[in-house]
Amino acid sequence: MADSLPRTLAGLRKAEAECTRCPLYQFATQVVPGEGPEHAPLMMVGEQPGNDEDLAGHPFVGPAGRMLDRAIAEAGLDRKTIFVTNAVKHFKFEQRGKRRLHKRPNAYEIDRCKWWNDIERALVKPKLVVALGATAARSLTGKPVPINRLRGELLPLDEERKLLVTIHPSALLRIRDSDDKKREFAGLVDDLRFCAKILRGP
Residue pLDDT, tens place only, 109-163: 999 999 999 999 999 999 999 999 999 999 999 998 888 888 988 999 988 899 9
Of the options 3.40.50.300, 3.40.470.10, 3.30.720.110, 1.10.1750.10, the CATH number for the domain spanning 2-200: 3.40.470.10
Kindly report, residue by residue over 124-135, the tens digit of the pLDDT. 999 999 999 999
Q: Indicate the domain borders of the chain.
A: 2-200
**Residue of 47, 13, 37 whose CA lies nearest to 140:** 47
In whole angstroms, give the CA distance from residue 8 to residue 67.
30
What is the model's pTM? Answer: 0.94
Q: Are 54 and 81 in contact (CB under 8 A)?
A: no
In whole angstroms, give the CA distance from residue 37 to residue 195.
17
Secondary structure of residue 21 in the 3-state scheme: coil
